[in-house]
């Protein structure tokens, strides 16, 4: 929470040099955003450490460095809105409010996890919380979002569906089919591309004929926004606009967040396709430290308050790991339990 009381902020008015995107976020919102960014970072660091310590098998796709896009885009969503995520989806889950301890339990394959240990890192879903699932198939969620949009429209429930995908997915047919259908039917869908420059090892410059994924929006007659994906406030401002448009019947938008994954594609990645210098260059644009620096510069939070947010997040993640470690494995007799609904 803010080190200063909200009424003092309101009384003081805006600092003249505070940009409107940041000013639009009140202290409570910005603290929530920062907390979630910390939770994502620390969740993934703990996931990586758990892997190294042999606590899990399987693989994982870390989004360290991409926290601002996950949190910024989802910040203006309402509680009943939907998201669909990707194989690199821990961040989207946490940004949407998933409980780290249930996510860790899922990551560890435990019966107490979000998906009772059947889904794992790549399939975490919190259907009741509006998270319709991460996805092991590149672009797999894109057409599903179209159907969610159809459902929202038919049920007239005023919701919005936000679907995440990577730059690589924008080269899949699913992307083009989904954007076209969402646009012709003016569905309440927000397409969010997290462009981290690589589809596994394939540089976007070699994989894509246009410079930006957002350029492709014009082919589907929808707004395309190309953003600095490491700028929380800037991302949130554009997302707010796209969500409002979707909710009011104005149809879908395509948001491209240019960002970077600091880690490899997955645990098998030996990083042969990019340089240390490039990674270092992007690490210097750490979205978390950038936001903190800006908040301090505008005297909205002091250092102690910021440190407390980070420490609280670390504590939550530590206890989440401990919870997951002590949870039971699923019973093999339940192997086929949820193949069919009865």
340 binds another protein (CB under 8 A): yes
Q: How far is the CB of 41 from another protein (least distance, A)?
A: 26
137 binds another protein (CB under 8 A): yes
90 CA to centre of own chain: 7
- Number of Cβ atoms within 10 Å of the Cβ of 58: 12
**Nearer to another protein by C-beta: 220 or 301?**
220
Q: Which residues pair with 189 in a beta bridge?
A: 161
Q: How far is the CB of 13 from another protein (least distance, A)?
A: 43
Tokens of 15: 């600092």
337 binds another protein (CB under 8 A): yes
165 binds another protein (CB under 8 A): no
The answer to whether 194 and 169 are in contact (CB under 8 A) is no
Question: What does the radius of gyration of the chain's CA atoms come to, in whole angstroms?
Answer: 20
Per-residue binder mask for another protein (CB under 8 A), 84-123, x = binder? x----------------------------xxxxxxx---x
Question: Which residues inside 237-296 make contact with another protein, applying CB under 8 A?
Answer: none
**Nearer to another protein by C-beta: 72 or 117?**
117
Nearest to 85 by CA among 131, 39, 36: 131
Q: How far is the CB of 103 from another protein (least distance, A)?
A: 13
Q: Which stretch binds another protein (CB under 8 A): 53-61, 148-156, 215-223, 314-322?
A: 148-156
65 binds another protein (CB under 8 A): no
**Nearer to another protein by C-beta: 93 or 313?**
93
168 binds another protein (CB under 8 A): no
Question: Which residues inside 195-214 make contact with another protein, applying CB under 8 A?
Answer: none
Distance between CA atoms of residues 90 and 41, nearest Å: 10
Crossing angle of the two packed helices 173-184 and 141-155, in degrees rounded to 10: 20
Nearest to 315 by CA among 37, 68, 100: 100
Distance between CA atoms of residues 127 and 125, nearest Å: 6
Residues ≥6 apart with Cβ < 8 Å to 221 = 183
- Can you give the length of the chain in residues? 342
132 binds another protein (CB under 8 A): yes
Among 10, 12, 14, 127, binds another protein (CB under 8 A): 127
In the numeric block, the tokens 């003016």 are attached to 186
Helix (H), strand (E) at residue 227: strand 224-228
Q: How far is the CB of 199 from another protein (least distance, A)?
A: 17
**Nearer to another protein by C-beta: 15 or 80?**
80
CB pairs under 8 A, 24+ apart, for 15-18?
Answer: 15/298, 15/299, 17/298, 18/298
174 binds another protein (CB under 8 A): yes
Q: Which stretch binds another protein (CB under 8 A): 173-181, 206-214, 265-273, 297-305?
A: 173-181
The residues that touch another protein, with contacts defined as CB under 8 A, are 82, 84, 113-119, 123, 125, 127-128, 132-133, 135-137, 140, 142-152, 154-155, 161, 173-174, 177-178, 180-181, 184, 336-342
């Amino acid at each position: 929470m803010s080190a200063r009381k909200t009424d003092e902020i309101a009384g003081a008015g805006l600092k003249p040099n505070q940009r409107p995107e940041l000013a639009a976020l009140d202290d409570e919102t910005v603290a929530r955003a920062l907390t979630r960014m910390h939770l994502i970072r620390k969740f993934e660091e703990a996931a990586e450490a758990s892997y190294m310590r042999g606590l899990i098998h399987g693989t994982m796709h870390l989004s360290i460095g991409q926290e601002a896009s996950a949190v910024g885009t989802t910040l203006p969503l309402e509680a009943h809105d939907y998201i669909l995520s990707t194989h690199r989806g821990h961040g989207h889950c946490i940004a949407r409010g998933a409980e780290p301890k249930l996510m860790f339990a899922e990551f560890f394959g435990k019966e107490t996890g979000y998906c009772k240990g059947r889904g794992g890192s790549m399939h975490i879903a919190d259907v009741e919380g509006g998270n319709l699932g991460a996805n092991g198939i590149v672009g797999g969620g894109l057409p599903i979002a179209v159907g969610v949009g159809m459902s929202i429209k038919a049920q007239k429930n005023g919701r919005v569906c936000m679907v995440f995908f990577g730059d690589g997915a924008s080269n899949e047919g699913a992307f083009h089919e989904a954007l076209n259908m969402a646009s012709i039917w003016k569905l309440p869908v927000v397409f969010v591309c997290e462009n981290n420059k690589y589809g596994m090892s394939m540089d976007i410059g070699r994989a894509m004929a246009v410079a930006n994924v957002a350029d492709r929006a014009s082919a589907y007659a929808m707004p395309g926004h190309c953003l600095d994906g490491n700028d929380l406030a800037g991302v949130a401002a554009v997302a707010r606009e796209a969500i409002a448009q979707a909710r009011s019947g104005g149809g879908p938008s395509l948001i491209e967040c240019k960002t970077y994954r600091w880690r490899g594609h997955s645990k098998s990645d030996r990083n042969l396709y990019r340089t240390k210098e490039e990674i270092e260059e992007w690490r210097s644009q750490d979205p978390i430290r950038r936001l903190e620096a800006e908040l301090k510069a505008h005297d909205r939070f002091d250092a102690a308050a910021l440190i407390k947010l980070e420490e609280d997040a670390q504590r939550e993640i530590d206890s989440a790991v401990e919870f997951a470690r002590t949870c039971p494995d699923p019973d093999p007799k339940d192997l086929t339990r949820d193949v069919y609904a009865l």
